[in-house]
Amino acid sequence: MSYSYNEFVDIVRRLRKECPWDREQTHESIRQNLIEEAYEVVDAIDTGDMEELKKELGDLLLHVVFHAIIAEESNEFTLDEVTSLISEKLIRRHPHVFGDTVVNGQEDVKRNWERIKLKEGRPSVIEGIPSALPALVRAMRLQEKASKVGFDWATKEDCWKKVEEEIKEFKSVAERNKNTGEAMDELGDLLFSIVNYARFLNINPEDALRKTNEKFIRRFQIIEQKLKDQGKDINDTSLEEMDRIWEESKREVL
């Protein structure tokens, strides 16, 4: 059976009224669920599983509609206002599509987007980047926005020199000082500079680290499985033996 968008909204409204669990939820109580659903969408994209992506997008849409319905109940705003506002914004920020502005590629589009946002009343070029974003993503977005107004390194080579400078500063503090606060500051500066260099290479640092995390999981689980097959307890296994299996796993798992 197939359901339309309007039928879907009616189903969510009914759940809000008749289901004891749905009825008790607030914006705050399902906040974390919304974040988790967004990451599940990302996971489906990363694996290329379109069937799973279809399901996860539905779960994410549920949260959008559910939050709007909660807001309707307290006369804050309506679902129609949500869709109307985003429609207005898309038209306003795409004058090259809905107006007579001429652009020469996506960089022009990005610059126009930021200019229009400032005209809308944004007090800062770098405002509007959620603090809840993963730190690597947020660093990249801050740098991208600053770059659009010319606050950027001239070349990737200059950017790399900054990375090398930050490595030396972090190493110096880490070796001579037990002040973890100072070391944390220097590590933050180093990570920020690495994100900047990754941006020059058109590499998303969050995606890169996520890929490395998954690779580590696969390879470490090979160590666990091989030790298990040999009847060994990983807690009683030497680092040398685990390193040997790790090197073997690198040939098995990319």
Whichever domain contains 20, its CATH number is 1.10.287.1080
Contact (CB, 8 A) for 147 and 126: no
SS3 57: helix
- Digit-coded pLDDT (tens) for 167-192: 999 999 988 876 678 889 999 999 99
pLDDT at 223: 92
What's the rounded Cα separation, in Å, for the pair 39 and 43? 6
| Shared-domain flag, residues 67 and 23 | yes
User: Which structure tokens are listed for 21?
Assistant: 């669990």
Tokens 């499985």 — which residue?
225
pLDDT at 155: 94
Please list the rounded mean pLDDT of every run of 10 residues in the chain (254 residues).
93 96 95 91 91 96 97 95 95 91 86 80 80 90 89 94 96 82 92 96 92 91 92 92 88 71
What's the rounded Cα separation, in Å, for the pair 207 and 42? 10
pLDDT at 106: 86
pLDDT at 250: 81
Position 117 in a domain: no
pLDDT at 254: 64
Q: Number of C-alpha atoms within 13 angstroms, CB side, residue 167?
A: 7
| Residue 79 domain boundaries | 5-91
Position 105 in a domain: no
Burial (CB count within 10 angstroms: exposed 0-12, middle 13-18, buried 19+), residue 205: buried
Per the prediction, the chain carries an average pLDDT of 91
- Which ranges constitute the DSSP H helices of 177-233? 180-200, 205-229
Beta-carbon contacts of residue 48 (< 8 Å; ≥ 6 apart): none
Q: How far is CA 190 from CA 87, 179, 187, in A?
A: 40, 17, 5
| Shared-domain flag, residues 151 and 84 | no
| Shared-domain flag, residues 192 and 214 | no
Rg (CA), the chain: 24
Contact (CB, 8 A) for 182 and 141: no
pLDDT at 118: 75
What's the rounded Cα separation, in Å, for the pair 201 and 49? 27
| Shared-domain flag, residues 245 and 186 | no
SS3 254: coil
Number of domains forming the structure of the chain? 3
